[in-house]
Amino acid sequence: MGKNNSRKWLLLIIIACASFVIALDSTFMNVAITSLVKDLNTDIGTIQTIITFYTLITASLMLVGAKLQDIYGQKKIFLIGAIFYGVGTFIASISQSAPMLFFGWSLLEGIGGALMTPATLSIVSRTYTGKDRTIALSIVSAMAGIAAAIGPLFGGFVTTFLSWRFGFAVELIVIIFIFVFSKEIKDFEPISTGRFDKLGSILSIFGLVVLVIGILAINSDFVQFSPFIIVFAIIILAIFYYYENKLKNNGNEPLFDVSMLKIKNLSVGSIIRLIASVALAGALFSISIFLQSVMKIDAFTTGLTLVPLTIGLLLFALISPRLTNYISHKLIICFGFVISIIGALLLRFNFGLDIDLITLLPGMFLLGGGLGFVISLILDLALNEIEKKDQASASGFISTSANLGISMGTAVIGTILILGAFGGLYDAIDQYYPEKIDDAHFKEDAKNYVNKVGTLSEDQKENYHVKEISNIIVFNAMKLVMNVIILILIIGLGLSFTLKNIKYS
């Protein structure tokens, strides 16, 4: 009995490691943006796209990964995903150009993450029951959130003292660890004998990819096409919904049973998970940019400054399962949103050119702590009414929401940051250098400084004093970013009131 118990929790450790390393990838490079721009001879927009597409590719393939588990078995698909992931981390670690980094990190690791993530949730959900299930799902969820939050410190350490390449090497070590102990992973029997829904897969992948491309287009030379791209993506996803519904009604097996969306906790819970991911990823990305470009602190110090957010998320996530003995899941999640909103408000009023970094710590602790409550418990609530045969599919849907949220957080908040910066460019020049208001060459250098995050030559800085202008622009943009994050969190709070509480049998 004791031995079986130990094996059961050893399985949780393996799954938690997988969840940790996949989530780590989404944030640990944020603090290395300046180094990536220089080392790969590129710009911040390209790096933002690479970061965004890692989570986008993972999100767009998540439903496919979940369905493949049903057909071929969770363990087999999980390990195939680990192979993709391991090869991707190796290629990323030796990248010499932005396209090479994109291939190893965004593409291969994205595919690997899509195959592994649904299995991590469904294996846990099918293995544990009752309070054990709450604890296990909280730990797996918390590991993902903690990894996303601790990423900046980890990335800052390796970037400052070693190289950002070592970050990918560490991930490869974790993947090797997972393979060494893979025999502990229970091999659940496939639960589907139906055909693989190829058309549904194409529609879901294409729709999600086009959606984020439309968002990214806002910050590009194709900005005028962005609304049309986004609307086109929504149309594709609507077609996917009706096609899947038609398959189910005709007695065929769809990629995803859309009738499950009638279960309120699954549909609302997935949206809440997306919102939490948008807020977390957006805050980490924008604050990292602010600290490095405006405050001019190194990657490691940036990571240290973000540690309070990580600690808050970790502490609140760890105590949340115990709190469920006295307070409902729903109330804890609502309270979590309130705490995170307070944290974002504190950050909103503390950004400035001459700020003491200590003033940011309370806001980041509360923002991370509140999200810790939300992220750790929403999975248990969302999957509570799902039948065992649908666990993989539902897990894939929630994972899609979480990863799409991370992707959108980087894309949307990053775009708002840059749009706010460029939107204030004219006013900043008019205020500080009115004699150059019609100097196109001057304004182009200022624009390039913002886009390159401080990589202009010393001559350009001395001639035009662009640094002062770009600092003011980014400072004003951060206010807009925090306002948007607060609005997103308020929406999450409103939705959390509609959730149904868990009743243990």
In a shared domain, residues 93 and 183: yes
Determine contact, residues 492/335, Cβ cutoff 8 Å: no
281 domain residue, yes or no? yes
CATH number at residue 319: 1.20.1250.20
C-alpha span between 353 and 5 (Å, rounded): 54
Structure tokens at 125: 């959900």
Three-class DSSP labels, 106-173? HHHHHHHHHHHHHHHHHHHHHHCCHHHHHHHHHHHHHHHHHHHHHHHHHHHHHHHHCCHHHHHHHHHH
Instruction: Name 107's Cβ contacts closer than 8 Å, sequence gap at least 6.
Output: 53, 57, 88
- Note whether 249 and 377 are same-domain residues: no
C-alpha distance from residue 67 to each of 70, 77, 144, 261, 481 (Å): 5, 10, 22, 17, 37
pLDDT value at position 271? Answer: 92
**Judgement on whether residues 153 and 225 belong to the same structural domain of the protein:** no
Q: How confident is the model at residue 455 (pLDDT cuts 50, 70, 90)?
A: very low
Mean pLDDT, to the nearest integer, of 335-345?
94
Pair 120, 12: CB distance under 8 Å = no
User: Of 191-195, 348-352, 439-443, which has the strongest mean pLDDT?
Assistant: 348-352
Residue 211 pLDDT exceeds 90: no
The pTM of this model reads 0.75
Same domain, yes or no, for 249 and 299?
Answer: no
Question: 275 and 414 share a domain?
Answer: yes
- Residue 447 in domain: no
User: Of 205, 226, 254, which residue constitutes the final position of a domain?
Assistant: 254
pLDDT digits (tens, 9 = 90+) for 430-445: 666 666 656 666 556 6
Q: How far apart are the first and last CA of the chain?
A: 23
- Per the domain annotation, does 466 fall within a domain? no
> Torsion angle, CA of 392/394/400/402, rounded to 10 degrees?
-110
Q: Is 326 exposed, middle or buried (0-12, 13-18, 19+ CB in 10 A)?
A: exposed
Q: Are 201 and 396 within 8 A, CB to CB?
A: no
Let me know whether 171 and 222 are in one domain: no
382: burial class by Cβ within 10 Å (0-12, 13-18, 19+)? buried
Which residue, 254, 289, 321, sits at the end of a domain? Answer: 254
Q: Where are the beta strands (DSSP E) in 336-461?
A: none
Average pLDDT over residues 37-50: 78
Residue 57 CA from chain centroid, whole number: 12
- If you search the block for the tokens 């991707």, which residue do you land on? 88
Domains: count for the chain: 2
91 in the same domain as 206: no
Q: Are residues 138 and 73 in the same domain?
A: yes
Same domain as 135, residue 276: yes
Residue 297 shares a structural domain with residue 357: yes
Q: What is the mean pLDDT of residues 404-410?
A: 74
Does a structural domain hold residue 303?
yes
- Judge whether 223 lies within some domain: yes
Does residue 441 form part of some domain? Answer: no
* DSSP sequence for 237-269: HHHHHHHHHHHHHTT---SS-GGGGGSHHHHHH
Which of 254, 273, 299 terminates a domain? The answer is 254
**Closest to 371 measured CA to CA, from 335, 329, 417:** 335
Among 89-98, 265-274, 389-398, 418-427, where is mean pLDDT lowest? 418-427
Q: What is the pLDDT of the chain when averaged over all its residues?
A: 78
Same domain for 369 and 266, yes or no, is yes
Is the predicted pLDDT of residue 473 greater than 90, yes or no?
A: no
In-domain check, residue 375: yes
Half-sphere exposure of 201 (CA within 13 A, CB side): 12
State what percent of residues in the chain have pLDDT above 90. 13
User: What's residue 227's pLDDT?
Assistant: 84
Predicted pLDDT at 505: 47
pLDDT of the residue at 2: 47
Same domain for 166 and 117, yes or no, is yes
CA distance 433 to 454: 19
Section 199-214 average pLDDT: 85
CA–chain centroid gap for 139, Å, is 17
Instruction: Indicate if the pLDDT at residue 465 is higher than 60.
Output: no
Residue 383 lies in a domain: yes
- Which residue carries 């996530």 as its tokens? 317
**Cα–Cα nearest to 466, from 480, 482, 483, 448:** 448
Highest mean pLDDT among 160-174, 241-255, 330-344: 330-344
Range of the domain at 481: 2-196+255-422+477-496
